[in-house]
Amino acid sequence: MNSFVIKGDIVFCPYQRQMVAIDDGYIVVRDGVIELPYVELPDSAKDLPVHDFTGKLVMPGMVDLHIHAPQYAFRGLGADMELLDWLTHYAFKEEAKYSDREYAEKAYTMFADALRYSATTRAAVFGTIHRESTVLLMDKLEKNGIVSYVGKVNMDRNSPESLTETTEDSYRETVEFLAEVDGRYRNTYPIVTPRFVPSCTDKLLQKLGWLSEQHDIPVQSHLSENPNEIKWVKELCPESRFYGEVYDSAGLFGSNTNTVMAHCVWSTDDEIALMKERGVFIAHCPASNMNVASGIAPIRRYLTEGLKVGLGSDIAGGQSVSIFTAMVEAMQLSRLYWRHIDSTKKPLSFPEALYMATKGGGRFFGKAGSFERGFEFDAIVIDDSALPHPQELNLRQRAERAVWLGGDQKGLVAKYVRGERLF
Amino acid sequence: MNSFVIKGDIVFCPYQRQMVAIDDGYIVVRDGVIELPYVELPDSAKDLPVHDFTGKLVMPGMVDLHIHAPQYAFRGLGADMELLDWLTHYAFKEEAKYSDREYAEKAYTMFADALRYSATTRAAVFGTIHRESTVLLMDKLEKNGIVSYVGKVNMDRNSPESLTETTEDSYRETVEFLAEVDGRYRNTYPIVTPRFVPSCTDKLLQKLGWLSEQHDIPVQSHLSENPNEIKWVKELCPESRFYGEVYDSAGLFGSNTNTVMAHCVWSTDDEIALMKERGVFIAHCPASNMNVASGIAPIRRYLTEGLKVGLGSDIAGGQSVSIFTAMVEAMQLSRLYWRHIDSTKKPLSFPEALYMATKGGGRFFGKAGSFERGFEFDAIVIDDSALPHPQELNLRQRAERAVWLGGDQKGLVAKYVRGERLF
């Protein structure tokens, strides 16, 4: 039974601008679900076993709203091109290898291990077009213990031959993929994954929209990442007023199911308005936005206007699986946005970054990413004693420092997902 | 005797745009100085002991051209203000503590340890105004084995009371500082360190310029970091055409001795021309430029125009002592500069970043930062086998990956400074 009490120095963000910090507090977990965090252990919980992390930081698990599993192999390589060239020269070449089950086995084992030992507890994951490899990826993620949505990618135009499906094949393989994984896992779910408009015909998008609606399967894709990409979409879809409308016309923009769009660096006012209306989640991927020279996304605007924003590593556009790193980069880019682009857009604070990294993205999965009543208990425990300091620090400062200095999850000593302890 | 042969996978940048990679090569070192790197071991070196790092990366040690030792204590904290407020609320408060020898002892021990176990082999270091603590810092750096310039900071105006010296005291303490450390160390040298124009009167700058010239001591300071700071300098020194001219009028801008200026984010054409003319080094500190919202420095322009550029961690404007991290950030910011500010300024390549991190900054110290004939042998050895990958990688790719993924010097297994092995 996953019922227990966690004791430690607790930090979480129930709201965008509110960080709760409880020194030497308790979280009561029953059947994997949070009862409440407490300053003192209530009598009603005195029979439960205590997992004692006194003096250590206990924070919600990190949520990665955008990561490409097959690109993990070349993270940290080839950040010398902007998006479309980068896709052709690096990403597509690597992804073609996943038609080979043996290669996929080797590479996805590394990827699943990396996520297991990271601070990430939930992730929205792109596979490749290959059904067999994508199911293998899901098997591995299920075994590694995190909660994930995983998509077989769809591509039926403007792609290298090795990664181009016919519209019919793409659709049929997706139907079979959904059937194959249906009920197969506890923590791993399928997600409809058109790569992006340039590599999907309208017909394919329509079929995928229909599938998503029929099976109530969420959707992930890319949106308004790079000016050249947006120009290309305009040429391909001259009848659409903006990029996101192409997805929307196919029912792939939150009208039927939960939808997450990566990047949204250059979204127009109309696109932003529609994302808000449809409740589309934005996966902000700051490292990737720098590395492939996309630009700085207007995250302050999205937060102020009430859009749903989480963070993504975007491996291998981003080089690190660490959502701590993404938090730091999101704060840094917001400072450059304020300085160089729009001085009315206040830089992001630490609580805002932590909120995006946890509950902001966690909402895509339901009640995840916070230590509130009724939330599934996903948590990380960090021993920050290895980060030396000569002065006294309070709990808020310790949390901030652990994130700013802990890029690679330094000191991560325990991890819980849905109330189960992974290590 | 520091004569030996290093065997390993060798990578270095003798020129800005040229990376040399020698698989399974040799570097012959005699009395701490490099003879040459070789593809095959020459007969003449067959008697020397071999330090065998087969399969590991051997790169020049990293050079940190700008780091504040007393700010190490609060790295990763308080990145919620821009420069001038940040100085008042964080930096100055922490630096005031270094009047207390006991606190300095504790904090500088942590700082020296951090540098020792980092990839940094040379650094230009700011202390505080306190002579005693600064000498203590130098004792510790000498013991930790890296080569450094260390400055007692000068501040005689516009600073909190606890950090304001009289002009006379500031000068006299500097004279005594120089006398006290003269001949005291093998690897640790003094450097004249006016904090920046806003906290130094013209009179003090003049005296420091004279000291620098008389004793042939190099100079470090800050320049054109932030628009509000520059505006303030204009108010304080209405007769100067640009910020750098204030230093130049005092003989602190490379006319007499080696000079390094941190940041140069907003330098004007005239200032850039004078830096070039005087051979002033620029310490580019990308993390700091993001964290305190200074902006993106035009590094491509500086490189194209032949200015001398190295990298700095700028602890605690930057949060990490890692120059690998600074390399990554420099590449990332150059992409944003290209995208948002000036599309004629091509993003920085990996060799360019590696050059700045090694020989670019190394030139401030003489023959350091490269594996060329006659250079002092500063090197780091990295075991990159812990970074998994399913595909074959060549040496260049391994070096790139080790930097992009190795922020905190993951896998750093050996370090040499001037031919001595530190670990």
Question: B404 vs A319: CB contact, 8 Å cut-off?
Answer: yes
The pLDDT of residue A343: 97
User: Which domains, from first to last, does chain B contain?
Assistant: 4-60+369-421 (2.30.40.10), 62-365 (3.20.20.140)
Q: Please name the residues in contact with A56: beta carbons below 8 A apart, sequence gap of 6 or more.
A: A8, A9, A381, A382, A383, A384, A413
- Looking at residues B89-104, what average pLDDT do you find? 96
Whether B317 and B263 have beta carbons less than 8 Å apart is answered as: no
When comparing pLDDT for B82 and B328, which is higher? B328
Q: Which residues of B touch A397 (CB under 8 A)?
A: 77
Task: Give the pLDDT score at B78.
Answer: 84
Chain B, window 106-135: residues with a beta carbon less than 8 angstroms from a chain A beta carbon: 106-107, 110, 113-114
- Residue A274 gets which letter from DSSP? H
Q: What is the DSSP letter of A80?
A: S
Listed by number, the residues of chain A in 49-88 with a beta carbon closer than 8 Å to a beta carbon of chain B are: 73-77, 79-80, 82
Least Cα separation, residue B315 to chain A (angstroms): 12
Interface of A with B in 343-372 (CB under 8 A): 347, 349-350
* Residues whose CB falls within 8 Å of the CB of residue B195, separated by 6 or more in sequence, listed in order: B126, B153, B154, B155, B159, B221, B222
At B397 the pLDDT is 95
Alpha-carbon gap: B332 to the closest alpha carbon of chain A (Å):
5
CB atoms within 10 A of CB A239: 8
Q: At B39, list the tokens.
A: 């593809």
CA gap B148, B168 in Å, rounded: 27
- CA–CA separation, B401 and A320 (whole Å): 11
**Contact residues, B window 25-44, toward A, CB-based 8 Å cutoff:** none
- Note the residue count of chain B: 423
3-class state of residue B59 by DSSP: strand
- Return the closest-CA partner of residue A28 out of A12, A56, A50: A50
Query: Which of B76, B293, B341 is facing A405, going by the closest CB pair?
Result: B76
Question: Within the 275-314 window of chain A, which residues sit less than 8 Å (CB to CB) from chain B?
Answer: 287, 290-296
Distance, CA of B77 to CA of B71 (rounded, Å): 10
Instruction: Give pLDDT, residue B147.
Output: 98
Q: How far is CA B320 from CA A385, B67, B327, in A?
A: 17, 10, 12
CB-based burial label for B40 (10 Å; 0-12, 13-18, 19+): exposed
Of the partner residues A76, A106, A347, the one whose CB lies closest to the CB of residue B405:
A76
Give which of B378, B381, B362 is closest to B416, Cα–Cα: B378
DSSP category for residue B339: I
Residues of chain A with Cβ-Cβ distance to B391 below 8 Å are 73-74, 94, 97
Alpha-carbon gap, residue B231 to B236, rounded angstroms: 9
* Nearest CA among B102, B109, B212, B79 for reference residue B154: B212
- Best B95, B115, B290 residue to mutate vs chain A (most A CBs within 10 Å): B290
Confidence class of residue B258 from pLDDT cuts 50, 70 and 90? very high
User: CB-based burial of residue A157 (10 Å sphere; 0-12 exposed, 13-18 middle, 19+ buried)?
Assistant: middle
Q: How many CB atoms lie within 10 A of CB A255?
A: 18
**pLDDT given for residue B9 in this prediction:** 98
Chain B residue with Cα closest to A75? B401
What pLDDT is recorded for position A302? Answer: 98
Of A73, A336, A387, the CB nearest to B389: A73
CB-based contact B401 A77, cutoff 8 Å: yes
Please state the rounded mean pLDDT for residues B42-62. 97
Task: For residues B60 and B378, give the distance between their C-alpha atoms in angstroms, rounded to a whole number.
Answer: 6
Q: Do A113 and B388 touch (CB under 8 A)?
A: yes
Q: For residues B165-180, b (16+ Cβ closer than 10 Å) or e, as one string?
A: bebeebbebbeebbeb
**DSSP calls for A133-200:** HHHHHHHHHHHHT-EEEEE-EE--SSS-GGG---HHHHHHHHHHHHHHHTTT-SSEEE-BEE--GGGS
Of the partner residues B332, B400, B407, the one whose CB lies closest to the CB of residue A290: B332
Check residue A79 and give its pLDDT: 78
Q: ∠ CA(B343), CA(B349), CA(B355), 5° rounding? A: 125
The mean pLDDT of chain B is 97
Instruction: State whether B103 and A390 contact (CB < 8 Å).
Output: yes
The reported pTM is 0.98
The percentage of chain B sitting over the pLDDT mark of 70, rounded to a whole number, equals 100
The b/e string for B215-244 (b: 16+ C-beta within 10 A; e otherwise) is: eebbbbbbbbbbbebbebbeebbeebebbb
Is the pLDDT at B407 greater than 90? The verdict is no
For residue B49, the tally of other CB atoms under 10 A from its CB is 9
β strands within B278-337, DSSP E? 281-284, 308-311
Q: Say what the pLDDT of residue B329 is.
A: 98
Whole-number Å distance between alpha carbons of A345 and B274: 35
Q: Which of B16, B121, B123, B61 is nearest to B364 (CA)?
A: B123
At residue B403, the 3 state secondary structure works out as: helix
A412 close to A89: Cβ distance less than 8 angstroms:
no
Q: For A200, what's the count of Cα atoms within 13 Å in the CB-facing half-sphere?
A: 26
The alpha-carbon gap from A386 to the nearest alpha carbon of chain B, in Å, equals 11
3-state secondary structure of A4: strand
pLDDT recorded at residue A116? 96
**What gap in Å lies between CA B154 and CA B171, rounded to an integer?**
8
- State whether residue A340 sits within 8 Å of chain B by CB: yes
* List of chain A residues whose C-beta atoms are within 8 Å of the C-beta of residue B341: 340
- Quote the ipTM score: 0.97
A:B CB pairs within 8 Å: 134
Nearest Cα residue to A98 out of A136, A125, A133: A133
Locate all alpha helices (DSSP H) within A361-422, ordered by sequence: 361-362, 395-405
pLDDT of residue B319: 96
Pair A323, A360: CB distance under 8 Å:
no
B133-189: per-residue pLDDT in tens?
999 999 999 999 999 999 999 999 999 999 999 999 999 999 999 999 999 999 999
Q: How far apart are CA B367 and CA B376, in angstroms?
A: 6
CA distance B360 to A11: 42
Minimum-distance CB partner of B76 among A294, A391, A400: A400
pLDDT band, residue B268 (cuts 50/70/90): very high
Structural tokens at position B103? 């606190």
List of chain A residues whose C-beta atoms are within 8 Å of the C-beta of residue B107: 390
- All residues of chain A having their beta carbon less than 8 Å from the beta carbon of residue B338 are 293
Q: Compare CB distances from B407 to A74, A79, A407 and report the shortest one's residue.
A: A407
- Residue B413 parent element (H or E): strand B412-417
Q: Which two tokens mark B304?
A: 């194209």
- Lowest mean pLDDT across B232-246, B320-334, B380-394, B403-417: B403-417
Q: Does B17 touch chain A (CB under 8 A)?
A: no
List, for chain A, all residue ranges whose pLDDT scores fall below the cut of 50.
none
Per-residue model confidence (pLDDT) at position A406? 85
Per the CB < 8 Å rule, is B79 touching A331?
Answer: yes
Whether the bond into A316 is cis, omega within 30 of 0: yes
Minimum distance, in Å, between the CA of residue B106 and any CA atom of chain A: 6
